Amino acid sequence: MSNRMWGGRFADGPDAIMEEINASIDYDRKLYRQDIAGSKAHVRMLATRHIVTADDADKIVQGLDTILSEIENGTFTFSRALEDIHMNVEARLAELIGPAAGRLHTGRSRNDQVATDFRLWVRDTLDTLDGQLGDLMQVLAEKAERHAGDVMPGFTHLQSAQPVTFGHHLLAYVEMFARDRGRVRDARSRLNESPLGAAALAGTSFPIDRKMTAAELGFDQPMANSLDAVSDRDFVVEALAAASLIAMHLSRLAEEIVIWCSAQFAFVKLSDKFSTGSSIMPQKKNPDAAELVRAKTGRIYGALQGLLVVMKGLPLAYSKDMQEDKEQAFDGLSSTSLALAAMTGMMRDLEPVAKTMKKAAGSGYSTATDLADWLVRVPGLPFRDAHHVTGKIVGLAVEKGIDLHRVSLSDMQAVEPKITNDIYSVLSVDKSVRSRTSYGGTSPVNVRKQARRWKKELAKATR
């Protein structure tokens, strides 16, 4: 039996394998709210332009409201034979209101319908990600302010480099997520044009008002080219690209949480809410939430790469290949949202172990740069000479197996006679971080200012 929605040209129904590969209702039912909203906007416009009667439009809107309630109440029956969410809704509408349902599709195609639905869904999802990024930034900024003076090792190559503060470290991620938030908003701005009314690919001969439907659906304007309107998936690619960068930053932070929670570091304590145990080792407390956030990154990258490969060779306008855009977008963007929620919960509960971090900050000769800076600032050595002198003193400390601040003044003066007892004023980790007062530096004063600035910015953004 042919599909009555499009089967006038066909004498026979699809083969079972064709039905299996062709159906998308198993996943595109996620678009039901957007599909119904687009149909209501479309039929109201048709009535305003006297393309359908006001009575038929009212019946269609009421029927669509009934379908929306049925889907949300779990009483709607989805049929794979009807392929997708659009045809499932239209078939049920015909059951509810009769022949008037057939007027809904006047002046549009499934091509512009799905493009509209998908844009609405991606727009809604980007709004959700925007809010979640703001929540995470708020948590990080608040914790940064509380721990502005807690010293920890700063690393390069995962080797102790210079002392920083825990608050400063967290604010680095606030900056990253702020850029992510900017990309999410940019992507939303670019997608906010309406494909509805482009029809199959060439527009329509009906006197429709595309500006009316665009405005009702919250779009800034209609898309200017009907071919582009039905074939563009840049908005999905861009959303997944933004999500991939979010995931990268989340993964970096997750990796640090995993390291910090280890017995070898013990820099932080992660609450039981975001940890699991071992089936055989009773002592274990694993940071599984962080590890899963780290792993989700692969799924999100895969969604982006998958869609780029689908789109790379498609001629204008619509091709059925584009049906492969949704599963990976749904998965990639939903995974991003879940990872953001998990990271926000972890960071809210996570607490640094200040004593352990401070002890670690003093190891690895991390104040060597402070020694070199002192040599430039006080006796006036050129920096390259100061660097060389400091390297010799570090080598002496390594040879003796002692920390830098334990090297005797006489031993230091044997390397550089201009060194005085004042040198010890810069070799503690506390004094080191307090001295880093340049804009963007790690001094606790700077960190508190930056944390408060971010809290103020975030509060303004939520008004």
- Give the active site residues: 157, 278
Relative orientation angle of helices 54-73 and 32-48, to the nearest 10 degrees: 170
The β-bridge relationship of strands 221-222 and 193-194 is parallel
Total residue count of the chain as it appears in this document: 463
Distance from first CA to last CA of the chain, Å, rounded?
56
Three-state DSSP string of the chain:
CCCCCCHHHCCCCCCHHHHHHHCCHHHHHHHHHHHHHHHHHHHHHHHHCCCCCHHHHHHHHHHHHHHHHHHHHCCCCCCHHHCCHHHHHHHHHHHHHHHHHHHCCCCCCHHHHHHHHHHHHHHHHHHHHHHHHHHHHHHHHHHHHHCCCCEEEEEECCEEEEEEEHHHHHHHHHHHHHHHHHHHHHHHHHHCEECCCCCCCCCCCCCCCHHHHHHHCCCCEECCCHHHHHHCCHHHHHHHHHHHHHHHHHHHHHHHHHHHHCCCCCCEECCHHHCECCCCCCCCCECHHHHHHHHHHHHHHHHHHHHHHHHCCCCCCCCHHHHHHHHHHHHHHHHHHHHHHHHHHHHHHCEECHHHHHHHHCCCCCCHHHHHHHHHHCCCCCHHHHHHHHHHHHHHHHHHCCCHHHCCHHHHHHHCCCCCHHHHHCCCHHHHHHHCCCCCCCCHHHHHHHHHHHHHHHHHHCC
- Show the CA angle centred on residue 198, arms to residues 197 and 199, nearest 5°: 85
At residue 281, what is the residue type? Answer: M
160 DSSP β-pair partners:
155
Sequence-distant (≥ 6) Cβ neighbours of residue 72 within 8 angstroms: none
163 DSSP β-pair partners:
153
* Cα distance between residue 211 and residue 185, in whole Å: 23
At residue 87, what is the residue type? Answer: M
276 DSSP β-pair partners:
286
